[in-house]
Amino acid sequence: MDDRARILVIDDEEIVRLSYLRSLKGPHCKVSSALNGEEGLGAMERDPFDVVLLDLRMPGMDGITVLRKIKEKWPECEVVVITGYPSIESAKEAVRLGAHNYLVKPVGPDDVVNAANGAMTQKKWGLHRERAGAEVRAIA
């Protein structure tokens, strides 16, 4: 079994995808990318990811719609929204839908790594709480 973090980058800008992939590349994670929401959801269907770095403004399906679909189907997946077009409304909506974080472009390599690490830590704690709760229920 592969214990590496599985991270998916969904962004329509190739330079952004390549930058994030380069920043996250390493022995502790497996990083893939998708150029739009439909492709990203298809990748999730084939092999669900632990963390998704998601752009909001893309042709076709927008990031808020993608976030909603991810959280409905894979609620344990942590999503970090990274947008070049921030607004209070989109930030509130992203958080309401379950986004782990909301960052404003441009983001540097350290920001990308820190956001992905924070989301992965959140996912691990969530899984830990689930297991602990199941053990308590099994004992009771």
Among 3.90.1150.10, 2.70.150.10, 3.40.630.40, 3.40.50.2300, name the CATH number for the domain at 5-139.
3.40.50.2300
Half-sphere exposure of 41 (CA within 13 A, CB side): 16
Which residues 6+ apart lie within 8 Å of 117 measured at CB?
Answer: none
pTM for this predicted structure: 0.88
109: left (phi over 0), alpha (psi -120 to 50) or beta: alpha
What are 129-138's pLDDT values in tens digits? 666 555 555 6
How far apart (Å, rounded) are the C-alpha atoms in residues 135 and 103? Answer: 36
Q: Domain segments of the chain: what residues?
A: 5-139
What are 114-130's pLDDT values in tens digits? 999 999 999 887 665 66
pLDDT over threshold 70, residue 49: yes
- Give DSSP secondary structure letters for 27-66: TTEEEEEESSHHHHHHHHHHS--SEEEE-S--SSS-HHHH
How far apart (Å, rounded) are the C-alpha atoms in residues 122 and 107? Answer: 21
